[in-house]
Each structure stands twice: as C-alpha cells, then as structure tokens.
Chains A and B, each alone.
Chain A
Amino acid sequence: MIKAPSSIKAEIKGLSKKGLRLGDFVDEIPIGLLLLDTSQRVILLNRAMEALTGYVSQEAQGIPCKYILRSSMCGQECPIHQVIERDGSVCMNANILNRNREKIPVRFTAAPVKDESGKLVGFLKSIEDMRSVRQSNDHSGQFFFGNLIGASLEMQRVLRLLPAIAQTDSSVLITGETGSGKDYIAEAVHEASTRAKGPFVKVNCGALPESLLESELFGHQKGAFTGAIENKPGRFRLAHTGTLYLTEIGDLPLNLQVKLLSFLDDQVVYPLGSSKGVLVNVRIIAATHRDLEGMVRQGAFREDLLFRLNVIRLHLPPLSERDGDVGLLMDHFLPIFNSRFGKKVKIFGSDTRKRLLEYEFPGNVRELKNIVEFAVNLCDGDEILIDHLPIYLKTAGTGKSHKRTIVGAALPEIAAAPSMIYDNSSMDWAQAERRIIMEAMMRTRGNRAEAAKLLGWGRSTLWRKLKIHKIV
C-alpha cells in the first residue's frame, strides 16, 4: 500500500521534544519547501517541491541537498553559508535542474531552524517557480490576459470571459486549431485563479503509450508491474491544490477516459496496484484540436466524459478569423525578438506587411511567431522586407489558399527531402533550425563544408549557427 508523503513523521531532534508531524501540513503549502538537517541532508520535501525537483520525499531523505535541488547556487555560493554567516534568512534568484533535465528559474529563500535554546538544528528552504513571472514580462499591448493578446472581437470575447472563468473551480474544455494558443489560455486561467500558488501540471495525453500514461497520470505502487521498483505519486497527486492540464484529451484511450470520469465524480485517484484511493484537490483543464462531438458519434470518446469536461467551453478561433490580430501580433512579436537577438529592426515594410496580412496562417499564432522570428533573424537593417520572409511567403500567389506545414521551407534543398519536412505544430523556429542543422550534419557525416552547401549557407554562417545552437 502506498504510504502517502503526508503521513511521514518528520521528527527533528531538538526542534520539539515531542516531535512534529510536519508532512501533514507542508504538503498543502503551494510553494516548494525543503527541510534540511545541520549537515544539509534532506529530511523532508513537500509535494510542491516534489513536483519541482522530480524526487519524492522518501527517496530524497538523507541525500545532500545539492543533489536534489541541483541549483546554480550549489557549491561556493550556497545560500546556507550566508544563512550561517548572517544568522538570518537570505533570498536570491537562481535556477535548478530537475530530474526531467529541465532548467527552471526560481527564487530561493533559506532560513535557519532553531530549537528553544536558540541552537541551530536545521535549515528550511523555500523555492518559488519563476517561469510564469518571466513569461508575463514579455507581453505588451492593449488587449491581454496573461500572455494572451488580441484586438479582434472574437478574441476580446474570449479574453473578457477568462477572469470570470479563472475565479471558478469548474472544469474547462478548450478547443481550437493547433497553434491557436490553447496552452497559453490554460496557463493564464491557472495563474489568475486562486490555485495560482499551487502547481500547474501539464500532461500531453497523446505523447505517451497507454500503459505508461495510466501510471504517469494516476501513479503506481511499488511492485504493481515489472519495473515498478518504487512508488510513484502520479500527475494527479503532483497537481494537488493546483491545476492539471490535459492537452490532446481527444487522444486519451477509452479505458483511461473511464478512470478520468471516475476521478471527476469523486476526486479520488487509485494508483496502479493499490486498492486504496487518495483524495486529491485538483482543477482539470482539458484541451484538444479534435472534434470531440464527432468522436463521440464515432464511439471514440465517451459522451459522459465530454459532458463532465464541457462545464466551461472555450473555443479559440483560428488566426485567419481574427480580424486585426495579425497586425497586432506582428508588432507584438517584433520588439520581443529584437531584444532576444540584439537586433534593431523597427518596422515591417509595406509590401511585407501586406503579404503577411493576406496570408492564411494555417499554423495560426505559432506560425506567425515563427515567421517574425525568422525575419528578424535574417534582417540586417531596420526594415523587414519580403526577402527576409521564408521562401514560401516570397513567391507570388501566396494568399488565402496557400496552406503548408514546412518550417524549413526557407532552405529549398532541405524542404525537398522528405525526412526534413517538419510539422511546425510543436516547435519554434530556433528548434526547427537546430533540427535542420543537425539533420544536415548527420547527412554529411559531420562535414561542415558539405552541410553548409546542402543548407545553402556559407561556412561561416553555418559555424555561427552551430555556436548559437550550441552544437559545437
């Protein structure tokens, strides 16, 4: 049977004569907390810290803090040294590298823990995830909510609804084409809700095979199946007091749809191999680009689950139907990429603007963002010309009927090769360019001169881009 982290009895010798049941309440605190002994070994992680680091409290106990947090401050600049020197708390910005190999910007606070006689008995570290704060600094413009921006009537209607939706605790179903901003909506709703201090856990239901997805979502008990060598809490429990965002819900297998439906009924999850349920306080936001009603008619999606999820329905219109948004978004992204790449591009040329305003953007906002990123990268002056656009936009006839999904089309030889055609639905320009370069390097067995020729670049351009993408 799974022993819940909340039942861990964390007794700190000297902190209290009777000992404290810390696990019971620190799990409910939405900020990551880490309790250390005087030799900086882990005594306890709360659930928010488990979600941040990827380690569960039991396995981290007794391990030096630096191996669990892996912070940029570990080593000479360890905040604990300053806590001891100052005999008080310290706060600083840093980043941590979690078990999923993600680098997360965080704000650290470290404080001493003392007993009644004032003797140091341990340390407490709290960690706030700063990713959402950094992202929200990017936005500018008149009509926005979180990271979303829009001037069209369609988007204004959506944006006006969001604050009210954020204040409720009902399930939300977001629909819309790929690249239309479903993930941003989900995150914005979470950030504006009372659960903002809790974790925002995203699960792509289409990215994992059925057997793994069940364990990933609901967790498993040690020994539940071959390879289950330790207890796993599952994403539902990691999202406790926060929001669980299920993207591509249309790809959720039928048997898991039943399990999700059961959770929506009673808020209890049953980890694999366990007969004991765990009560979890989670808000569900689901998203899909599929036609769920059509899937219900075909028997591929449960009608009762659709009704449960469909408490609040948000539909994001495709970019081509948002009058006025293309121009607004072009001007919104321009200063962002200027600042990111250290460029001084001021405006879009009139022809360029006209060409972009006429284009249909089948990849929606993500495609527009990629095009602006590409153009800013290529532009050496202060005005973006048609020559700076990807090749598929340069050619005559580009218009409302021109649909495509090739990100690397700016490189004709590459675009022509089937293995080099990428769906732009899941990567930005930098990722696409990196991947194109890697493919070219692999094709030419690492010969940079040949790779540069294949890509249609000079050798120095390829070298510069290899450095930018940290391939060398």
Chain B
Amino acid sequence: MERILIPLNGDDIAPRFDLVLEAMVILISDSNEILDQRIVVLPHTSAEGLCDVILKERINTVICCGIEDEFYQFLTWKKIKVLDSVIGSSSMILTKYCGPGLSSGEMLL
C-alpha cells in the first residue's frame, strides 16, 4: 500500500507547495487501486506545516507543482518520493499515477 499527498487548489494541483490550505491524501493498494481519499485542511499556508502533515500522515509520495529546493531536499532526505512541476487536475494526476505512471514535469491539461 502507498500513501500519496497532492496539495490542492480547488480540484487542481496547487501551483505552490508553500501556499496551500488543503491537500488530498490518497491510499492506494499494491495493485494501484484507490482504497481511500480524503482532504486535509491546514490552518494557514505554510510549507513547514505541510511537511509536518506529510510526516504525520506517513506519506510515501508527494505530487506537487512548485516546491522550494529546501523542502524538496528535506522530503527526499526523509525518504519521501517527490514528483514536482506536475500540472493538472487531481483526478487526471491520480489516473495517470495509478495507470501508466507519472513523472516530474508532466502537464496533464
């Protein structure tokens, strides 16, 4: 099983990791089926706060658009896979991730 987090702006991925107020946490099975998904709401925008949520939620993979190098390095240091510069709606991103696979920099619009 894998836990994924996508910072959200409405139904789409948020342009910036440090400016989000909500994020989607998705649990997928080993066969890439979505088992559960829910929204986590942050009290204020903060990259540190989101990193804290990522650690507490035991996230394995973060899919985001813009992220500062400091936080990218921190998350990868914590052995969390980060796919950044991804653009698209959360549903398209998830479909691509669970299907053929997703990589950094993909534009799904």
Real binding pair:
yes
Q: Which A residues fall within an 8 A CB radius of B?
A: 59, 62-64, 66-67, 69-70, 72, 74-75, 97-103, 438, 470-472
Which residue of the partner chain, among B48, B68, B87, contacts A103 with CB atoms under 8 Å? B68
Of all chain B residues, the one with the shortest Cβ separation from A62 is B109
A97-B68 contact in complex given A74-B19, A471-B74, C-beta closer than 8 Å: yes
The reply to whether A101 and B67 form a contact with Cβ atoms under 8 Å apart is: yes
The reply to whether B15 and A66 form a contact with Cβ atoms under 8 Å apart is: yes
Q: Could you tell me the distance in whole angstroms from the C-beta of A55 to the nearest C-beta in chain B?
A: 9
The reply to whether B19 and A101 form a contact with Cβ atoms under 8 Å apart is: no
> In the bound complex, how far is the Cα of B65 from the Cα of A62, in angstroms?
17
Confirm or deny: B95 has a beta carbon within 8 angstroms of a beta carbon on chain A: no
B contacts with A: majority SS: mixed
Q: Could you tell me the distance in whole angstroms from the C-beta of A394 to the nearest C-beta in chain B?
A: 31
Which residue of the partner chain, among A67, A102, A438, A472, contacts B65 with CB atoms under 8 Å? A67
Of all chain A residues, the one with the shortest Cβ separation from B78 is A446
Confirm or deny: B60 has a beta carbon within 8 angstroms of a beta carbon on chain A: no
Confirm or deny: B3 has a beta carbon within 8 angstroms of a beta carbon on chain A: no
A70-B48 contact in complex given A75-B19, A99-B85, C-beta closer than 8 Å: no
Q: Could you tell me the distance in whole angstroms from the C-beta of A106 to the nearest C-beta in chain B?
A: 14
The reply to whether A74 and B16 form a contact with Cβ atoms under 8 Å apart is: yes
Interface residue total, chain B, C-beta cutoff 8 A? 24
- Can you offer 11 A-B residue contacts whose CB atoms are under 8 A? A67-B15, A72-B19, A74-B19, A75-B9, A97-B67, A97-B68, A101-B66, A103-B68, A470-B47, A470-B48, A470-B71
Q: Could you tell me the distance in whole angstroms from the C-beta of A232 to the nearest C-beta in chain B?
A: 13
A contacts with B: majority SS: loop
Which 4 pairs from chain A and chain B are nearest by CB?
A70-B66, A101-B69, A97-B66, A66-B15
Of all chain A residues, the one with the shortest Cβ separation from B55 is A472
The reply to whether A102 and B74 form a contact with Cβ atoms under 8 Å apart is: no
Confirm or deny: B70 has a beta carbon within 8 angstroms of a beta carbon on chain A: yes
Of all chain B residues, the one with the shortest Cβ separation from A59 is B107
For B65, list chain A residues within 8 Å (CB). 67, 70
Write out, one digit per residue, whether chain B residues 19-50 have a CB within 8 A of any chain A CB (1) or not (0). Answer: 10000000000000000000000000001100
Q: Could you tell me the distance in whole angstroms from the C-beta of B8 to the nearest C-beta in chain A?
A: 12
The reply to whether A470 and B69 form a contact with Cβ atoms under 8 Å apart is: no
Q: Could you tell me the distance in whole angstroms from the C-beta of B82 to the nearest C-beta in chain A?
A: 10
A74-B77 contact in complex given A59-B107, A101-B68, A102-B69, C-beta closer than 8 Å: no
The reply to whether A63 and B48 form a contact with Cβ atoms under 8 Å apart is: no
The reply to whether B109 and A63 form a contact with Cβ atoms under 8 Å apart is: yes
Write out, one digit per residue, whether chain B residues 61-88 have a CB within 8 A of any chain A CB (1) or not (0). Answer: 0000111111110100100000011010
Of all chain A residues, the one with the shortest Cβ separation from B69 is A101
For A101, list chain B residues within 8 Å (CB). 66-69, 72, 84
> In the bound complex, how far is the Cα of B20 from the Cα of A75, in angstroms?
10
> In the bound complex, how far is the Cα of B88 from the Cα of A64, in angstroms?
10
Name which of A62, A64, A75 has the most chain B CB atoms within 10 A of its CB.
A75
Q: Could you tell me the distance in whole angstroms from the C-beta of B66 to the nearest C-beta in chain A?
A: 4
The reply to whether B16 and A97 form a contact with Cβ atoms under 8 Å apart is: yes
Name which of A67, A69, A472 has the most chain B CB atoms within 10 A of its CB.
A67
